[in-house]
Structure formats: structure tokens, C-alpha cells
Amino acid sequence: MKAKGKYGKWEIVRSLPEGGQAHTFLVRNSEDSDDTGLYVLKRLKNPERLGRFWREIEIGLKLAHPNLIKVINFDIVAQRPYLVCQYCEGGDLRSRGVGQGLGAIAGLKFFHSICQGVAYAHQNGVVHRDLNPKNVFIDLKSNSPVVGDFGICFLDQQGERLTVTEEAVGPRLYIAPELEDGRVEEVSQRSDVYSLGKLLYWIITGTEFSRKKYRDAEFDLSQKLHDPRMEHVNRLLDKMITTDPKARFPSAVEVLSEIEETIKMLEQGFNVVSGNVEQRCLYCGKGSYQLVANGRPSTGFGDLETFGITVRGRGEMIWRVCICNNCGNMQFFRPDRTHNPQIWD
């Protein structure tokens, strides 16, 4: 249904679904014939939320990035305060059907663009606090994701709380555990990292879950996508979807570099270094490596000698020998020479 009315120079085209703190309309510029674009106008519902409304405007003006929603115009002193921002014709990720599952590599590349916007916000001291599929939009002009709705964001330099006392922020399946009871004293960029991890899993698989279930058999990416190399993504999620904020990446800046590394690992077919993950043969590509010899000082090197291998200057050396069960290709490893020998346990 078409809604009639104007706010300043902004003529209402039609109503849009309402947000939590604003009436929302699709509008056009009635005073500039050269401006044929459409925009989103948000009109404040509750005058008591003016501070939070102004915060969204302030952040929109401060953050200029192609993966963040742009604030075009505003009037905070009007009888009915409003802001006008970029309109993304593609809708939000959920309505767009992104959650049907993009797959690992395509999903990571798409997610990388989202993280670029969030990383820019983090570099400018802004914590979003409400990252979920309905707050990320598709700009059809650039065919890229755009993060919006900074209405409950947090400026970590100021530490000012604008959310109602004891009000949990963000949707239940995406909110970081430390924010569930509105405990604002624990807000940090690591809270956004948790939500980003849940968002990444949803983009890749189209599945949502509570807390850390991505390691359960039902949700494990290696089993869900039938590819042992998905352990690369699991290890990325290990540093994002964890209940302990200190165990997460500090911010989306660090997430960005890890995403790039993970994409490289998957595109180039690198195996996961682990004693517990199936390793696809690098030679024939059909078989998988089986551990046939594991020599260390505490157990002796008899397994190696079975293969005609004599270890000299044994000391603290650790050897692993794996053979492909299809073509017989052999791989030799020295776990004691790695930066983290525990990855083989």
C-alpha cells in the first residue's frame, strides 16, 4: 500500500517493514529532478530513544566504506526526527535466500566483503552488536553485501550505553554469550567476532545452531560437506564461535587475514595438518593417507625400520609415515620440527 506524505524534501513512495525503533519508508528526492534514486527513511518511533537514534546517524556519518550503509540525510530536531540512508534493492541476506548455502569457497569470499565493512568499523572504535542475516543487505549495483542497522552499536572509546538496562541485544542465535543479559561492561569487538562466526556458518551451509554445536557430528562441516579439508574452516570458527571472548580473534581485522589464508588453503587443495583428520592423497587424489609408522624415542623406531629406514642420531626426533591406500604414495613428517607439535595429536 502506498503511503502519502513528505519529510523535508523526501517524498514517501511506500511503507517498508518496521524496525524496532523506527517507522520505515521507501522515499525519493522531490526537489532534485536529476536524483532518480530511491532511499530508505527511518522515522523515530519513541522520543525516549532519541539518543540511540542519533547514535545510528552519528555512526553512519563517521563510517564511509562500500560495505557499510551510507547515511544520506537527517533531521534530528524535526517534530518527527528521521534519517535517510542508502537503499539496497537486493534486500537482506535472509530474504535474498543467501542462507540456502553458498558452499565453502564462495561463502568465504562473500563473507570476506562483510568482514571488510565490520573491520573498518572496528578500526574506528565501533562495535555493531547486532550482526545477523537481516542486518546485512545486497547492493545490486555493486553486487556486494552491505552491513546496516547500527542502531544498537557501541563506541568503545566512550563506553556509553544506549541500550535499555538489562536489555539483551541481537537475535538469540547470533548474539555473543556475554551480551545475552545486557551486560554492557563486557562489550568488545570480540562480541562481533562471535556473531560473524555464526553468520559465516549460516552463509556456507544455510544452517543455524545454538552456541558451539558446529563441532557436533550433525553440524561439523567436514561431515556436512563431505570434505575433510573443511577442517580449515572449522579451525577458523574455533577462534570465533567460542564462549570465552579472550579465546576469539580480537577483532574483524584479524578475521580478515585468516579468511584470506583459509580461502587459499581450500582453493589450492592443501590438506589439514592433523592426526585425526582424513588426508586426501596429493598424488592420485582418490585415496587417503593411512598412518603406518609412528616413531619416537619413548616407543622406539621399530615401525620405521620395518620400512628399511634407519634413524641416526635419534635424540628427541619424532617421525610419522603415511601411505595412500590407493596408489601407495608415501609422506614423511617430523612433528617435532613444527611450530606446534600438538596439531598431530
Report the C-alpha gap between 207 and 214 in whole angstroms.
Answer: 10
Torsion of CA 103, 106, 111, 114, to 10 degrees: -140
Per-residue pLDDT, 161: 46
Q: Tell me the per-residue pLDDT of 49-58, one tens digit each, with 9 for 90 and over.
A: 888 888 888 8
**Nearest-CA neighbor of 201 among 178, 224, 180?**
224
Query: Residue 209 is placed in which grid cell?
Result: 545452531
List the catalytic residues. 130
Give the length of the chain. Answer: 345
Q: What domains can you pick out in the chain, each with its CATH number?
A: 6-86 (3.30.200.20), 91-268 (1.10.510.10), 279-333 (no CATH)
pLDDT at 65 exceeding the cut of 80? yes
pLDDT at 174 exceeding the cut of 90? yes
pLDDT at 197 exceeding the cut of 50? yes
Report the C-alpha gap between 64 and 62 in whole angstroms.
Answer: 6
**266 — pLDDT class (breaks 50, 70, 90):** very high
CA distances from 109 to 136, 147, 250, 269 (A): 15, 15, 21, 16
Per-residue pLDDT, 303: 67
Count of CB atoms within 10 A of residue 292's CB?
15
Query: Residue 116 is placed in which grid cell?
Result: 571488510
Find the mean pLDDT for residues 227-244. Answer: 92
Report the C-alpha gap between 75 and 98 in whole angstroms.
Answer: 34
Report the C-alpha gap between 345 and 332 in whole angstroms.
Answer: 16
Bridge partners for 254 per DSSP: none
Which of the two residues, 262 and 99, has the higher pLDDT score? Answer: 262
**5 — pLDDT class (breaks 50, 70, 90):** confident
Find the mean pLDDT for residues 169-177. Answer: 78
- 22 phi/psi in degrees, rounded to 5: -150, 145
Contact 344, 289 (CB under 8 A): no
Per-residue pLDDT, 84: 96
**Nearest-CA neighbor of 153 among 177, 184, 180, 181?**
184
b/e 238-254 (16+ beta carbons within 10 angstroms → b): bbbbbeebeebbebbbb
pLDDT at 281 exceeding the cut of 80? yes
